[in-house]
Amino acid sequence: MSKSIVFLIAICLISFEVKAQDAKNFYIYFDINSYKIENKYKHEFDKVDLSKIDKIEIYAYTDFLGSKELNDKLSQQRANATKTFLINLGFNSDKIITCQGKSVHENSSFENRTNERDRGIKEHRKSEIIITFNVEEQTKSYTYQDTISFETKFDKKTEHTDLANIKAEDLVKGNKFNIKNINFKGGTPFFLPTAEEPLMELLQLMRENPNLKIEIIGHICCQDESEPDGYDHTDGTYTLSLNRAKAVFLFLRKGGIEASRMTYKGVGSSQKLYPREQNSWEQSQNRRVEIHVLEN
């Protein structure tokens, strides 16, 4: 939920350094049981400005084929091969701060195959290369001749919202709320028991504000942005985030809320709060349902 803080400033000059960064992901895919990199991938890096690189991270994966011991070894071989590949292209080895084999990709399993001609899953036999660039570095100065006031807004995106605390004045067009405790069984759009209370609170919120129109946005965790939506084990489609948003929509419809007051969509893992989850808490923060106020 957005909050505001008002500052009063009575100074003549403020100077500060701005250092902006941008990151770009690259992917190299491998054949089964191989860590050989094809020459075609050289062209992927033709336009990279080596002088602006701040750091490089390499994470390599295998698909589900083979034993854990072999996949641990193979993923690290792929990471090492990727590092050597970049160095041979002229990348500074000192900029490579991470070169890690991650073993089997988290979403890799026989059930998740979409190409029956592939014994495994090619999309999971890969190296992910994250290059962070320094895109701007300069000093900016601002001069104030009088005491002025300004308002700055910030949004604690990592905090899920308890719907019981939302007030009518919070329901302003454009506001978004990450809903606390609307969780699902793994790989399905089925609610966990903990979702019952916030779902009832959302239903009550819609009933108490008859002019409120919302968009329901489903998110998932534990995948790269470049990958498709999560796999839904209940219908065999890669529309898990969409199906979870639809589950909330159908719950509200069953509770008497008109369909014309709601839309829903799934965005997969494209809008993660934590791009690379480090623990189960960050995963749970990414695995969320968001409510976007369209009209009130």
Per-residue pLDDT reduced to its tens digit, 29-73: 999 999 999 999 988 898 888 988 989 999 999 999 999 999 999
Is the model's pLDDT at 279 over the cut of 60?
Answer: yes
Q: Name the residue with tokens 């500074």.
A: 92
Distance CA 201, CA 206 (A): 9
Q: Residue 139 corresponds to which tokens in the numbers above?
A: 């000093």
Instruction: Please calculate the CA angle 191-275-287 and round it to the nearest 5 degrees.
Output: 5
What are the chain's domains? 16-138 (3.30.1330.60), 157-295 (3.30.1330.60)
Q: For residue 296, what pLDDT band results from cuts at 50, 70 and 90?
A: confident
DSSP string, 103-164: EE-TT--GGG---TTSSS-GGGSEEEEEEEEEEEEEEEEEE-SS-EEEEEEEE-TTSPB-GG
Containing 204, the helix (H) or strand (E) segment is helix 196-208
What residues form DSSP beta bridges with 262? 214
Q: In terms of residues, how long is the chain? A: 296
Q: Give the Cα separation of 248 and 216 in Å (integer).
A: 7
Please determine, for residue 16, whether its predicted confidence score (pLDDT) is greater than 70: no
Q: pLDDT class for 134, splitting at 50, 70, 90?
A: confident
Asked if 28 contacts 86 with a C-beta cutoff of 8 angstroms, the reply is no
pTM of the predicted model as reported, rounded to 2 decimal places: 0.47
Q: How confident is the model at residue 94 (pLDDT cuts 50, 70, 90)?
A: very high
What's the angle, vertex CA 112, arms to CA 100 and CA 115, rounded to 5? 100
Choose between 20 and 248: higher pLDDT.
Answer: 248
pLDDT of residue 77: 96
pLDDT for 3: 44
In 3-state terms, what secondary structure has residue 17?
strand
Q: Is the pLDDT of residue 285 over 60?
A: yes
Distance CA(266)–CA(234), nearest Å, equals 16
The answer to whether 209 and 171 have CB atoms below 8 angstroms apart is yes
> What is the distance between the alpha carbons of residues 82 and 58, in angstroms, rounded to a whole number?
8
Q: How many CB atoms lie within 10 A of CB 271?
A: 15
Task: Give the pLDDT of residue 211.
Answer: 92
Backbone angles phi, psi at 89, to 5 degrees: -85, 0
pLDDT band at 175; cut points 50, 70, 90 = confident
Q: Does residue 141 or residue 124 have the better pLDDT?
A: 124
